[in-house]
Structure 1
Amino acid sequence: MDFKKSVFYLSFLSFLTLSTFSCKNKNVQEKTDDSCKNQGLELPEWARSAPIYQVNIRQYTPEGTINAFKAHLPRLAEMNVKILWIMPVQPIGKLHRKGKLGSYYSIANYREVSEEYGTLDDFRAMVNEAHRLGMRVILDWVANHTAWDHPWITEHSDWYKQNEKGEILSPIPDWSDVAQLNYSNPALREAMKNEMKFWIFETDIDGFRCDVAEMVPATFWASTFKELQQIKPLYLLAEAEGIELYENFHATYGWTLHHIMNRIAAGDSTAESIDNYLETQQRESYRKNMQRMYFTSNHDENSWNGTEFERLGNLHKAMFVTMAFLPNAVPMIYTGQEAALNKRLNFFDRDPVNWSNYELTDFYKKVFGLFVKHPAVAATCPTGDFLRLDNGEFKDLYIYMRTIDDKKVLVISNLGREPATVPDLEIIYGDWTDLMTDQKRTIKSGQSIELQSGDFLVLFT
């Protein structure tokens, strides 16, 4: 398909009008209110447009404690963060441990806080303060495996997968520091559900980010979440991308688009490949109130594949804004990105973030702020139409508009290595506000707009 042609704009718009991830203008919304109801889990109202911030307690401060991190909460609230995703804080197994401190995801006791980080009271106080500041807290939950010295290993060895010799197995050879749980055992399912309940009752968390969610049976998530949601409305994020996960989760990872962006930055693809993603992945998977989390970094990407500066170079900001306002998008950043963190954090040992400057704080604050407040880019229905606009002869120029009633957001990004000129498009004529400069900007017929590599515009009415 030739995505440069104006006919694509019309056909893609027609597709979106019929699709499950675009609500139409006010008149159509009034006719299709029922279609805006969640077809899966009921989404908490506070999660409709809530940017996510991933917190690595170990690396956040020189102290590496919950209390030391807590001092940063007012700054994060000011940055328009709405959901704090806290990486695991439980004690880490010592048997077969990797590195000096071990993996966050090798849990030796689900109901305790590691002495490395503080106490359960510290965690509870952090959650309370986040709530006071208008943020919610979700806890990283590792349901697929435990550390080798978790009490269950000796007390309930039948809760683990074993070979014919009766030896407990790791999930995969490279994960030698953890033991694979066996969800065919009903007693394990009940125990794991109760461990999750503990954190809701004892600390008042607001949901879970579920590690390697596809490796845990969907039937466990379904029965467990049904019961947990009766305690309080929860936000449930799956570390996976499969369509079937939307039966039990509100949000999944945008891995496919993340890898597309990496390929574009490496020169192995063009920005037009984003259209293929939208037309296929979105058509197949998106229903009302089903969210996709987009990011340029996270704990795995940073430590194992490189920072956003390594992988994306000068394109990292343009790529972030391009993803942030797509249909059903939820933008997420990782610990230190607002400080322009340009090093790979050690995964198994202490390696604190350098907070000597907050170079990108204003950038993320503005992107998050528009995402939170502008109705055209709400992550869930009712939200704005998505209009993919003609990029002319420039394959790495990506232009789209989100519209609802008279409210609009226009995103123009040069994701290539060469300068690009924005085509003369009548649909973008008019008066706008520039998100990054806070200045008024008028686009007129015949006006030339040139963007250097990595430049972008986010305009709104």
Structure 2
Amino acid sequence: MIVRLLILLLPFLLSCSVSKYTTGIKTMVELKGEWKFKIDPDDVGLSQFWYSSNFDRSDWASVEVPDFWDRYSNFSSYDGIAWYYKSFEIERIDKRKKYAIFFGGVDDDCGVWLNGEFVGEHRGYSDEFYFDVTKFLKQGLNELVVMVIDHGGPGGIYKPVAIVEYSEIEDLLKGEFYYKNARKSEEWVKDAIIYEIFPRAFSEKGTFKEIEREIPRLKELGVNVIWLMPIHPIGEVKRKGTLGSPYSVKDYYGINPEYGTAEDFKSLVKTAHENGIKVIIDLVINHTAWDNKLIIEHPEWYVKNDKNEIISPNSDWTDVADLNYDNPELRKYMIEMMKYWVKEFDIDGYRCDVAELVPIDFWNEVRKELDKIKPVMMLAEGSLPEQHLEAFDLTYSWNVYDALARIIRNGHLPSVLDNVLESEKYKFPKGSLRLRFNENHDKPRAVKFFGEDGALVSAFIVNTIPGVPLIYNGQEYGDTTNLSLFEKQVMSRDSVSKRGMKFYSFYKKLFNFRKNSLALRRGEMIKAKTLNDDKVYAFWRKYKDETVLSIANLSTWGVTTKLQIDEVLKKKIKNGKVKFYDVFEDKIGEAKVEDFVNFKLEPFTFKLISVF
């Protein structure tokens, strides 16, 4: 289930100070309290200039910011576009100073205007972000307009907004967790190449036995961790579709009989382990199916409305009932259940669905208990920096996915990705591992979304920047099958078509090189400059004596570009030549420096080169 259907828990996020954890920043105006608000279901706001200074907003509602608009009267189920307006006073402008507008978080995307002038846009709900407004800010009255685009679930300006005075960009980016260290993960977690499996869609029979038969192939492909989407019985009451969502769990201790038996599952885990592959399973504990026995046995464990009726987490998730983690007995039950699967089936961890909707102190307690049994992987379907401190090894980097979408689909500059990675560096604890992907069960098939070449180049990027890569079942064949959560659809294993062979060969070469490359798994990322930085994205990954170059054309234009001879490359030059291994060409070569640094790249093509 998609993490964007977000928080409504974590009230501290709504009140934290912008400048609490930064230096060199002075808050000029905190823009909290009353704002004007209007929804735009027909998307007419831009054409009607709702952002202009003299626009009539007399019919706009008054609302409180920060907050999700789902909490405003009459907007609890609205998804789409909405506009916010706020006027404020600045007593004095010092022309020697720099000023920015700082947003703690907007769900999901937004555009910002100040005094009728477009300031900038931001994509992705989970990030703090800022815009320099030095040239737009006025002494006296100022008018701020924000257009918010919500793609589903809660929407709005849900964290603080402020006008700040700053000296350095880094001051704006540093958050509380920049000064802390992430928990130390196991080496196999850092080395993971995760393959997500939807058992129902993985084969015609959709069983554990069918997955077990594929373990040798997955090993050969280079996969070393498999994540099984929920394996439990699926609820029937209020079921969506014919077969229901696996995220509607009927019995936490049971196994979906369509997949097989407990012995079948144990056999799958054993075979995976014998092939050097770890197994994690999906954990769905924010909510249950309506026919889960806990509703009858422990109705006090659920969230209820003012009529004492158990409710769903939101208006869209009608097939599930919301759990209330204020109840200590519920917490005990869930911890024992999680320990059961590790002890009895020897699984290696959990992918935790909508982890942000379950209190972080619960996850911290869980992790301590699981660590007493064996080292595990804990993957949060969330993006909160604090999740890395104690409970989780990995969080979802929706930010990188959104950046790649902007670059590949909308023609934005590759520097968008730099901005995202830089912001991540300053917001997350040191050593945080992020899950990188260009496709998963919550997102469209990469080939459909990015196009065939775009799917390959985006996969190339997510597998070569720092982080842990994910691949969704069928992605290795360039599959375009839309795998519904609620119906029976089977992934394609088209290994003989031109596309199928190209994609499979790409992933096999990339994954197996990565498994043997400490530079890609552990190395520092150092940006490399080219003559075409507006189209080409190039960087080094360096670990001890190993150096790897990733270079990709992220534009629709073919380019002949030249790599700048920087300090990294200088150390590899001997007698004016460079020795290299071209991963996708599978060849070792030696070239004069002037030849080596010239690259001809067709649109959305790339090279991965080990320099030695």
Query: Residue 474 of structure 2 aligns with which residue?
Result: 336
Query: Residue 435 of structure 1 aligns with which residue?
Result: 583
Query: Residue 419 of structure 2 aligns with which residue?
Result: 276
User: Match of 2:509, as an amino acid?
Assistant: K
Contact map agreement 1:375 1:384 (CA 8 A) in 2: yes
Query: Residue 603 of structure 2 aligns with which residue?
Result: 453
Per mean C-alpha deviation after superposition, the further-off stretch among 129-138 and 438-447 is: 438-447
Query: Residue 310 of structure 1 aligns with which residue?
Result: 448
Q: How does 1:319-358 map to 2 (within 5 A)?
A: 319-327=458-466, 329-357=467-495, 358=500
Query: Residue 99 of structure 2 aligns with which residue?
Result: none
TM-fit CA distance, 1:201? 1.2
Q: Which has the higher strand share?
A: 2
1:367-402, Cα deviation, whole Å (9 max, x unpaired): 222222212122xxxx32221011323412100001
Query: Residue 240 of structure 2 aligns with which residue?
Result: 98
Provide the C-alpha distance between the structure 2 equivalents of 1:431 and 1:286, rounded to a whole number of angstroms.
37
Q: How does 1:2-401 map to 2 (within 5 A)?
A: 39-247=181-389, 248-288=391-431, 290-301=432-443, 306-313=444-451, 314-327=453-466, 329-357=467-495, 358-359=500-501, 360-378=503-521, 383-401=522-540
Secondary structure in 1 aligned to 2:223? Answer: coil
1:87-130, Cα deviation, whole Å (9 max, x unpaired): 00100000000001000100000111111111111111100000
List gaps (5 residues or longer) in structure 2: 1-169
1:207-232, Cα deviation, whole Å (9 max, x unpaired): 00000000000011011111111011
Per mean C-alpha deviation after superposition, the further-off stretch among 358-367 and 398-407 is: 358-367
Secondary structure in 1 aligned to 2:285? Answer: coil
Contact map agreement 1:319 1:413 (CA 8 A) in 2: no
Per mean C-alpha deviation after superposition, the further-off stretch among 421-430 and 279-288 is: 421-430
Contact map agreement 2:528 2:563 (CA 8 A) in 1: no
User: Match of 1:372, as an amino acid?
Assistant: K
Provide the C-alpha distance between the structure 1 equivalents of 2:563 and 2:278, rounded to a whole number of angstroms.
43
Contact map agreement 2:232 2:253 (CA 8 A) in 1: yes
The Cα RMSD (Å) is 1.7
Secondary structure in 2 aligned to 1:426? Answer: coil
Secondary structure in 2 aligned to 1:198? Answer: helix
Contact map agreement 1:159 1:188 (CA 8 A) in 2: yes
Contact map agreement 2:532 2:561 (CA 8 A) in 1: no
Secondary structure in 2 aligned to 1:341? Answer: coil
1:340-371, Cα deviation, whole Å (9 max, x unpaired): 10121122011011213152222112222222
1:387-424, Cα deviation, whole Å (9 max, x unpaired): 10113234121000011232111000011100122224
Per mean C-alpha deviation after superposition, the further-off stretch among 181-190 and 445-454 is: 445-454
User: Match of 1:376, as an amino acid?
Assistant: A
Secondary structure in 2 aligned to 1:114? Answer: coil
TM-fit CA distance, 1:271? 1.0
Secondary structure in 2 aligned to 1:146? Answer: strand
Provide the C-alpha distance between the structure 2 equivalents of 1:309 and 1:438, rounded to a whole number of angstroms.
25
Provide the C-alpha distance between the structure 1 equivalents of 2:532 and 2:440, rounded to a whole number of angstroms.
34
Query: Residue 27 of structure 1 aligns with which residue?
Result: none
Contact map agreement 1:385 1:402 (CA 8 A) in 2: yes
Q: Structure 1 vs Structure 2: percent identity of aligned residues?
A: 35
Query: Residue 124 of structure 2 aligns with which residue?
Result: none
TM-fit CA distance, 1:133? 0.3
Provide the C-alpha distance between the structure 1 equivalents of 2:185 and 2:409, rounded to a whole number of angstroms.
37
Secondary structure in 2 aligned to 1:347? Answer: coil
TM-fit CA distance, 1:268? 4.7
Query: Residue 121 of structure 2 aligns with which residue?
Result: none
Contact map agreement 1:434 1:460 (CA 8 A) in 2: yes
Q: Which has the higher helix share?
A: 1
TM-score by length of structure 2 reads 0.66
Is the radius of gyration larger for structure 1 or structure 2? 2
Provide the C-alpha distance between the structure 1 equivalents of 2:491 and 2:533, rounded to a whole number of angstroms.
38
Provide the C-alpha distance between the structure 1 equivalents of 2:395 and 2:249, rounded to a whole number of angstroms.
23
User: Match of 2:580, as an amino acid?
Assistant: W
Q: RCO greater where, 1 or 2, for CA within 8 Å and sep 6 or more?
A: 1
Provide the C-alpha distance between the structure 2 equivalents of 1:366 and 1:212, rounded to a whole number of angstroms.
33
TM-score by length of structure 1 reads 0.87
Query: Residue 11 of structure 1 aligns with which residue?
Result: none
